[in-house]
Each structure stands twice: as C-alpha cells, then as structure tokens.
A and B are shown apart, each in its own frame.
Chain A
C-alpha cells in the first residue's frame, strides 16, 4: 500500500509557463510535506516544504499548496525554466516514525 503517490510519471511544459506537479497521500499523521529535486547522477536536493498546519508556502518561483481534506499537495513552478528539468519527488514526514515516505517521482521537462 503506497502511502505517497505521484500519479504522473512525466510532465512537459514550455519555458515561461507554469508547471504543476501533484502528489496524494493516505496517512493523516504526516505532519510535514516536502519536495525534492533530482538531477541525473546526483542525489535528491531539498526544494521546499510545508507544515500540515498551513495550506501554502512560497519560495521564489516555487509554491507548494496543501489540501488536507483531499490529502493532496501540489508544487507550482512559475515561470518554468529549462534548468528546472529534473525528477521531482514528493515526500511526507511522520514524526512518530521519524522518517519520510517518498513518492515515485515525476520527471519534468521544460522546453525552451
């Protein structure tokens, strides 16, 4: 039973447009949600997080939205740039377990 799901394996957008990456979760005990970005041959790097008590967190071009009732979060990138092309992992942190559960990732391609 996968507790964190990213249903879109890939997404392609034009440079300058908005990229929206989605993530669904099942465990209501998660209290932090994170997005990581991964380039080929590198480890994932932390991008942005949101606490379960908030519904939005913004950092420059990146905004994460959390809908707790729907158990859904999304990452918005605007404007998208070719350098944003990477695999994006959604993760949910459980304080009881002390660890994060990751989704399978979405490969974003931003076309010039």
Chain B
C-alpha cells in the first residue's frame, strides 16, 4: 500500500513569503505528526494530531507556524513570513491506533530553503 507522501519535495522561497507544505498520511492512520530537521540537528517535534482531538501544538516554534488536518486525513503545515532560520527538512509521519501506535511511518520530507 501507499506510504506517507509529502509535497512539494523541495521548496525555495524568499524571506517574508508564506509557504504551505502538504502531507498525505497512510490511509486509516489516526495520528499525524510534523517534525523538522535543521542541518546537522535531530528531529524537532512541531505538532501532533490524533483523531478528532485538539492538536498538540506544543512544539510550534512561533505563531508564524500553523497546521491543520482536514477530514482526519491530509494535513497542511503553513509558515507565514518565512525567515532564513526556517530553512530545514520538514517531515511528516503517521501512525495507527491500537497496539502499534508507537510506530511512526515517515514521509520523504520537504526541503525548505528560505533565501
């Protein structure tokens, strides 16, 4: 079956512009996560959606970052007024509910470059 997909794979934008990153999770997965990985760094948690519950936004670095998940499936991460420090690979992951809910399946990521 299809894995987690993300689009675009690469995005170059000018400082100050808004960007939208898309994630299509594995069908039927109830949980969806966004992370980012800056150059030479680990995985930084951004936001987590679980079913119809309110999202855990505790990792969002500023109010320029927001995310939504429509219909419990596709998610969009929006960064407003991008800054150079936003340059990173943005990774999306999904997981099922139940016994194996701790195993996350990652997409290939979107590489964002802010010039």
Contacts of B20 in A (CB 8 A): none
Contacts of A89 in B (CB 8 A): 42-43
Given contacts A97-B56, A98-B50, A99-B33, contact A43 B42 (CB under 8 A): no
> Per-residue CB proximity of B55-66 to A under 8 Å, as 1/0?
010000000000
Is A102 interfacial (CB-CB < 8 Å)? yes
B103 touches A101 (CB 8 A): no
- For chain A, which range describes its interface: under 10, 10 to 19, 20 to 34, or 35 or more residues? 20 to 34
Contacts of A93 in B (CB 8 A): 102
A43 touches B106 (CB 8 A): yes
Residue of A nearest to B59 (CB): A99
Contact of B45 among A6, A32, A99 (CB under 8 A): A99
Contact of A105 among B33, B35, B42, B102 (CB under 8 A): B42
Contact of A103 among B42, B101, B104 (CB under 8 A): B42
In the bound complex, how far is the Cα of B104 from the Cα of A100, in angstroms? 9
- For chain B, which range describes its interface: under 10, 10 to 19, 20 to 34, or 35 or more residues? 20 to 34
Is A75 interfacial (CB-CB < 8 Å)? no
A43 touches B43 (CB 8 A): no
Is B91 interfacial (CB-CB < 8 Å)? yes
In the bound complex, how far is the Cα of B107 from the Cα of A98, in angstroms? 19
Contacts of A97 in B (CB 8 A): 56
Is A45 interfacial (CB-CB < 8 Å)? yes
B102 touches A49 (CB 8 A): yes
Least CB distance from A30 to B in Å reads 10
Least CB distance from B107 to A in Å reads 5
B residues engaging A (CB < 8 A)?
Answer: 4, 31, 33, 35, 41-43, 45, 48, 50, 56, 91, 93, 101-109
The 16 sampled A-B contact pairs (Cβ below 8 Å) are A32-B102, A43-B106, A43-B108, A43-B109, A44-B91, A46-B104, A97-B56, A98-B56, A99-B31, A99-B45, A99-B48, A99-B56, A101-B45, A102-B43, A104-B42, A105-B43
